[in-house]
């Protein structure tokens, strides 16, 4: 068998594997600009066994280039139901958001990225958080 008959299928396989798609893409602080919708919440019972559980929610948060955000739900009360508008600022260098009108210790609420998900780490006694997917 000629070498070209062996190399062509091998190159085709490598090409297909390398063009797998953007499912493995990881978001960074530069990707925070835009609108995000709540898709899962974490509430740990205190023993470290908590996992993110999917939710159906209209809770959204939108980040703007000027360092501000708006949300249709307050972060002060930990609600997941949409209602009156809510706003604040965020800092991509520290990974924090500071909601207006809330008393949080330190520099606010931390956020991070897990793959293509935005994780907001709420200030709870036990681990808790919210997982968002970008909607635009």
Q: Under a CB-based contact definition with an 8 Å cutoff, are residues 75 and 109 in contact?
A: yes
Residue 102: its pLDDT value, please? 74
For each of the domains in the chain, give its residue range(s) and CATH number, in order of start.
Answer: 22-134 (2.40.128)
Residue 32: its pLDDT value, please? 94
The separation between CA 60 and the C-alpha centre of its own chain, rounded to angstroms, equals 11
96-99 and 34-43 strand pairing: unpaired
Residue 37: its pLDDT value, please? 97
- Three-state secondary structure string covering the chain: CCHHHHHHHHHHHHHHHHCCCCCCCCCCHHHHCEEEEEEEEEECCCCCCCCCEECCCCCEEEECCCCEEEECCCCCCCCCCCCCCEEEEEECCCCEEEECCCCCCCCCEEEEEECCEEEEECCCCCCEEEEEEECC
Residue 44: its pLDDT value, please? 82
What is the block-wise mean pLDDT of the chain (136 residues), using blocks of 10 residues?
A: 54 48 68 96 85 92 96 71 75 90 70 94 85 94
Residue 81: its pLDDT value, please? 53
Residue 16: its pLDDT value, please? 46
pTM: 0.73
Residue 17: its pLDDT value, please? 45
Residue 61: its pLDDT value, please? 95
């Amino acid at each position: 068998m000629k070498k070209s008959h062996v190399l062509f299928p091998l190159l085709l396989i490598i090409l297909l594997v390398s063009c797998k798609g953007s499912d493995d893409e990881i978001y960074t602080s530069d990707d925070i600009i835009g609108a995000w919708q709540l898709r899962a919440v974490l509430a740990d019972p205190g023993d470290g066994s908590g996992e993110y559980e999917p939710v159906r929610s209209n809770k959204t948060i939108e980040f703007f280039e000027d360092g501000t955000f708006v949300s249709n739900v307050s972060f002060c009360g930990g609600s997941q139901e949409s209602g009156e508008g809510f706003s604040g600022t965020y800092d991509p260098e520290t990974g924090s958001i500071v909601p207006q009108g809330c008393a949080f210790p330190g520099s606010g609420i931390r956020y991070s990225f897990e793959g293509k998900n935005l994780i907001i780490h709420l200030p709870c006694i036990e681990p808790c958080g919210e997982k968002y997917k970008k909607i635009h």
